[in-house]
Amino acid sequence: MNKIDYGIAVRSLQLECGDMPLVLNDENQCLLVLLDVLGHGEAAGELAQRAKKYIQEHKSLELEKLISGVDGVLRDTRGAVGAFIRLDVATGMVRYESIGNVTMRIIGAESSVFVPSGGVIGYSMPVLEQKYSRLQSGDILLMYSDGIRAGFSSYEWADLWLQSAQDIAQGLLERFCIGDDDASVIALKYGTFFR
């Protein structure tokens, strides 16, 4: 069975953070969620925590039902954008959905960027069409909010490549945080890596 290593890094613009990165895993499955509640501050932080509680309590739901549930929790609020991934740890199969401008990328032998759906969770949800991809051993999966500069190249952080997932997440936050919004990163290393 392949292994995973993951790390989370968050920087809040104010005392409370409207970004909510979450990884829930067991031996077979790994659920990764990154929500970015619109705006920032105490109200955004409270909504992020409300959504986190719902996800933790309903983590075994199919992805579409989980997202629909989060949409219900955030209904009639300022809403959020978000990315949801369910990873089969043994096979590397990834099922995902992204609503709005949370970026998901695979860095590896076959690098790719996942295409999000338009909309806002809790306000204007698109029709959900679950998408699929597959991680290969040695791949790095990145999820990050719009508080991180878009379009950076893996060459700009090549020195982080062999570090732990936590060091990658923290390094990306430190190098590419734009500074005027909450910012968060989830980094997941899949399979075998050599040091």
Q: Is the pLDDT of residue 5 over 80?
A: yes
- pLDDT 10s digits, 178-191: 878 889 999 999 98
- What dihedral do alpha carbons 70, 73, 75, 81 form, nearest 10°? -40
Lowest mean pLDDT among 61-75, 86-100, 181-195: 181-195
| Average pLDDT of every residue of the chain | 90
Task: Name the phi and psi angles at 118, rounded to 5.
Answer: -75, 165
CATH level 3 topology of 4-190? Phosphatase 2c; domain 1 (3.60.40)
Q: Which two tokens stand for residue 87?
A: 């990873």
Task: Identify which of 84, 176, 73, 78 has the alpha carbon closest to the alpha carbon of residue 129.
Answer: 84
Provide the β-strand partners of residue 4.
190
| Residue 49 exposed, middle or buried by CB count within 10 Å (0-12, 13-18, 19+) | middle
| Mean pLDDT calculated for residue range 145-174 | 86
- pLDDT value, residue 160: 73
pLDDT digits (tens, 9 = 90+) for 15-49: 788 999 999 998 789 999 999 999 888 999 999 99
Select the more confidently predicted residue: 75 or 114. Answer: 75
Given a cut of 60, is residue 1 above it in pLDDT? no
Does 2 score more than 60 pLDDT? Answer: no
Can you give the residue ranges of every domain in the chain? 4-190
Query: How many other β-carbons are positioned within 10 Å of the β-carbon of residue 111?
Result: 11
What's at 117, amino acid-wise?
A: S
